[in-house]
Chains A and B, each alone.
Chain A
């Protein structure tokens, strides 16, 4: 039997199976929460025919009676054979439910990938509809709409592009569209038109402005900000509003820079936000995205009890144009917020407890070398040069060589693996910044370790000496002898060994995490 009480709940029965359980282990992570568990249940198989995937699986703290692990059977693995009947059962923590649903999620899209030429008949054949810098000296990237000289135009003829990712019905509805625009000529016979369509509002459009060489900005939001609620298609056009004419000069263009499309976010209870609550179109915060995910895709979370702390990193681009799970978004958010963590914990009144919170700054657990400190070295790879490559807004491959002073290399010149900046992040400043960071990081040793705790350790949060199975990841532990404070990122408890294996460390940022923090260019 296991020491910790074990309970399995199927469609027809709830049963404590502590007496039949051996080899019990469970793992919790930060970020992540309850992750996985395994146990062998020596029970006659036919006694439990409805033990299937998705049956509930609990491990309790015997003293408080509260769940240490709360999850779902991922594989009951019934075994028959010479050694007798048994379920070699594995279970996933509640966080696996975040991988159930897939949606098209556009929180903030500045990318040109989502835009295509409008297929409507009023878009004339030779109209220019592409992403290119504005004509003239300016190198600003963006959407260029225009008519070529010699083009005959009638009233209502257009050069137009439309945004398609929000068209699937499972996608977010349009929340906002905004840009900084300028024209090649000032003329009241041409207009900047914004059009929409979707299941709820039906087709419609508005003329935002007349064509002008004076730069201006536009920002249309759903929820009362003049963009109708429920729009799923958006289009931007340069429209001939005057009478029939022939275009003479090569200045009939409209350029949208800093073009942003936002999906309409929800609050955690599933209510769509109003224009006022869609605070800005310049960035999204991880905490806003989390609130939306809870309301949109995570009905298994107790929304009322969920703790979502405000985050600060302004995310300039976060769009998934093919359906993704909430789990995928969480992983992306940790790139932007490495000092915050998310966790799906045990179920409470209305669903699982969910937190999105900063890593604490106060130490919770007091550990010591007596708990078997085993530092995990990382490979130190000293380098003093790195090439950073990107493609500029005009499509030219560009590269810059970043160098750093690494004294122990002396006169030796050693290159790190080249870095490729993703689309939208290519700039000289970003290249210099990331290059310097990577060279500096290669010269450092990240501090991390595993410890095996077999005794009670002091918990400063509750003031108690807690058992190894009560240790929770997502808090700080101090290892007394070196005085090192480290994050507890994983706890695996083994009931047979009565030991908790803690993974500690403040891992170095990955290249992806560093890239996620760069300023967005286009």
Chain B
């Protein structure tokens, strides 16, 4: 085939620059001449009322007139090829304005095809010449956004399971600039470098700039709580495996009803929403350990004057090592003002309290480590991945594929294994024009294997995506 004239409008097999071309709407081959006219990419259907939250975009309709000027055989062949593509369930339509432009692909879906107009067709007696044009009104239903070529956003980014390592942001990875117009699903390859447990939390977020300006603006680690308990909380014990190098041993002597509480007074953090997790470990006393953590913010702040409360249940066996328990999202200090009005505001001083309520029979012991607060906004997407992958020392990356909403690994023979993963939550999204951050936390919330949420665990992460464009790219 000769080099196509631009703009290019082709049906292709896959959304890749070197993909097989299935049908070219604008070529001039021999006596055949096919063309497109009046290309209109349409716009996605915006659903819901303008102020609606949680809306999704519907489909868009691509329209243009397709003209075929050729002899009978060539025209017939072209019509048949095109008709088969239109009758198929789906397809990819490549649109590229100039040779230097970025190609975009529209994912098209089977829909009522446009009609064929024979008004200007005059076939000669021999059927070898044609006088006029076959005109087809193309009308293609397509996904809301066009996608661009696959981009590599990051490779070999080291992420530690340790929020205290601020030099490389510890458990956070700041990603480069994301192209496109609309949020795009990310494909994240997570390659664990060392032995690990079986559940991790992968979050994508787009925090404001001040979040990353210093280690204490976006992540707070609360250590050294004041323990005030009816149960034995003992003294702090030094242990380098714990955040801040210490933990608070806490023994529940009898069972359900034993309560241990920890408070932090005079806390001051920027006023915003916080994603709050607790780090703890079972001690080798007793069998399974189950407790309920309740986190409260001190009274008298903000609009309500009431306690804000988060609760979560803890569970582990004494053979497990430390784990993170997600307590939830809370605004601190409390206020009724919208997020936007709070940007940059400093928070009032407040008290935070954690209460651990034993909920199992028998004597148990917990090593309470710390509470970690991550800055949060509503653009965060959280995914919990639980795996039975036994290849614990890495080597084969886990593909967290937001495009296909699946997590899988691919072995050396190219076989894909999605069965080894159980996935809860929402797949990560990358937002163009904003700072994109990945957050990876190992050992979250469920009984673990032996390696749990150790600080020493690390992963190498690679991030790919296809930009999402509203219109074609010049």
Contact A469 B290, CB 8 Å, known A66-B425, A462-B308, A462-B328: no
Residue of B nearest to A67 (CB): B424
Contact A468 B54, CB 8 Å, known A63-B380, A63-B381, A462-B308: yes
Say yes or no: is A411 at the interface (Cβ < 8 Å to chain B): no
Distance (whole angstroms) from the CB of B68 to the closest CB of chain A: 30
Seen from chain A, the residues whose Cβ lies within 8 Å of a Cβ on chain B are: 1-5, 7, 9, 12-19, 58, 60-67, 269, 302, 304-305, 348-350, 353, 362, 366, 454-456, 458, 460-465, 467-469, 495-499
Distance of A464 Cα from B315 Cα, bound (Å): 28
Kindly identify, within residues 301 to 324 of chain B, every residue whose CB is under 8 Å from any CB belonging to chain A.
302-304, 306, 308-310, 313, 315
Distance (whole angstroms) from the CB of A520 to the closest CB of chain B: 32
Contact A349 B315, CB 8 Å, known A18-B405, A462-B328, A463-B331: yes
In the complex, number of A-B residue pairs with CB atoms less than 8 Å apart? 147
Distance of A16 Cα from B361 Cα, bound (Å): 38
Distance (whole angstroms) from the CB of A460 to the closest CB of chain B: 5
Say yes or no: is B375 at the interface (Cβ < 8 Å to chain A): no
Say yes or no: is B55 at the interface (Cβ < 8 Å to chain A): yes
Distance of A460 Cα from B306 Cα, bound (Å): 8
Kindly identify, within residues 338 to 374 of chain B, every residue whose CB is under 8 Å from any CB belonging to chain A.
338-339, 359-361
Contact A60 B424, CB 8 Å, known A269-B361, A305-B313, A463-B308: yes
Say yes or no: is B426 at the interface (Cβ < 8 Å to chain A): yes
Give me 28 A-to-B residue pairs in the complex whose CB atoms sit less than 8 angstroms apart, sorted by A's number. A4-B54, A5-B405, A15-B406, A16-B405, A61-B425, A62-B381, A64-B326, A64-B382, A66-B328, A304-B360, A349-B290, A349-B447, A362-B306, A454-B48, A454-B51, A454-B52, A458-B336, A460-B308, A460-B334, A461-B308, A461-B309, A463-B331, A463-B335, A468-B53, A496-B47, A497-B48, A498-B49, A498-B54
Q: Which residues of A contact B383 (CB under 8 A)?
A: 65
A456 interface neighbour in B47, B53, B310, B447, Cβ under 8 Å: B53
Q: Which residues of B contact A463 (CB under 8 A)?
A: 297, 302, 304, 308, 330-335
Q: Which residues of B contact A17 (CB under 8 A)?
A: 405
Say yes or no: is B273 at the interface (Cβ < 8 Å to chain A): yes
Contact present for A304 and B290 (CB under 8 Å): yes
Distance (whole angstroms) from the CB of B336 to the closest CB of chain A: 5
Distance (whole angstroms) from the CB of A67 to the closest CB of chain B: 7
Distance (whole angstroms) from the CB of B436 to the closest CB of chain A: 15
Contact present for B427 and A64 (CB under 8 Å): no
Residue of A nearest to B402 (CB): A16
Distance of A111 Cα from B323 Cα, bound (Å): 53
Q: Which residues of B contact A349 (CB under 8 A)?
A: 290, 313, 315, 446-447
Distance (whole angstroms) from the CB of B120 to the closest CB of chain A: 35
Contact present for A65 and B406 (CB under 8 Å): no
Q: Which residues of B contact A60 (CB under 8 A)?
A: 424-426
Say yes or no: is B329 at the interface (Cβ < 8 Å to chain A): yes
The 5 closest A-B pairs by CB, nearest first: A65-B425, A65-B382, A463-B334, A62-B426, A16-B405
Distance of A67 Cα from B426 Cα, bound (Å): 10
Say yes or no: is B419 at the interface (Cβ < 8 Å to chain A): yes
Say yes or no: is B390 at the interface (Cβ < 8 Å to chain A): no
Distance (whole angstroms) from the CB of A323 to the closest CB of chain B: 30
Distance of A366 Cα from B47 Cα, bound (Å): 26
Seen from chain B, the residues whose Cβ lies within 8 Å of a Cβ on chain A are: 47-49, 51-56, 201, 203, 256, 273, 275, 290, 292, 297, 302-304, 306, 308-310, 313, 315, 326, 328-336, 338-339, 359-361, 378-384, 405-406, 418-419, 421-427, 446-447
Contact present for B308 and A62 (CB under 8 Å): no
Given contacts A64-B328, A455-B51, A455-B53, 4 further A-B contacts (CB under 8 A): A14-B423, A304-B256, A464-B330, A469-B54
Distance (whole angstroms) from the CB of A455 to the closest CB of chain B: 6
Q: Which residues of B contact A58 (CB under 8 A)?
A: 424
Contact present for A460 and B304 (CB under 8 Å): yes
Contact present for A16 and B56 (CB under 8 Å): no
Q: Which residues of B contact A304 (CB under 8 A)?
A: 256, 290, 313, 315, 359-360
Distance (whole angstroms) from the CB of B55 to the closest CB of chain A: 5
Q: Which residues of B contact A460 (CB under 8 A)?
A: 303-304, 306, 308, 334
Distance (whole angstroms) from the CB of B116 to the closest CB of chain A: 23
Contact A305 B359, CB 8 Å, known A60-B425, A366-B336: yes
Q: Which residues of A contact B422 (CB under 8 A)?
A: 9, 14
Contact A3 B56, CB 8 Å, known A58-B424, A463-B308: yes
B54 interface neighbour in A3, A66, A305, Cβ under 8 Å: A3
Residue of A nearest to B419 (CB): A13
Q: Which residues of A contact B419 (CB under 8 A)?
A: 12-13
Q: Which residues of A contact B49 (CB under 8 A)?
A: 454, 498
Distance of A244 Cα from B237 Cα, bound (Å): 80
Contact present for A65 and B384 (CB under 8 Å): yes
Contact A5 B51, CB 8 Å, known A304-B359, A349-B313, A462-B329: no
Q: Which residues of A contact B297 (CB under 8 A)?
A: 463
Distance of A496 Cα from B48 Cα, bound (Å): 8
B330 interface neighbour in A12, A14, A462, Cβ under 8 Å: A462
Contact present for B53 and A498 (CB under 8 Å): yes
Q: Which residues of B contact A269 (CB under 8 A)?
A: 361
Residue of A nearest to B56 (CB): A3
Residue of B nearest to A64 (CB): B382
Contact present for B315 and A5 (CB under 8 Å): no
Distance of A1 Cα from B338 Cα, bound (Å): 29
Q: Which residues of B contact A456 (CB under 8 A)?
A: 53
Q: Which of A17, A463, A497 has the most CB of B within 10 A?
A: A463
Contact present for B304 and A19 (CB under 8 Å): no
Q: Which residues of B contact A67 (CB under 8 A)?
A: 424
Q: Which residues of B contact A458 (CB under 8 A)?
A: 336
Q: Which residues of B contact A12 (CB under 8 A)?
A: 419
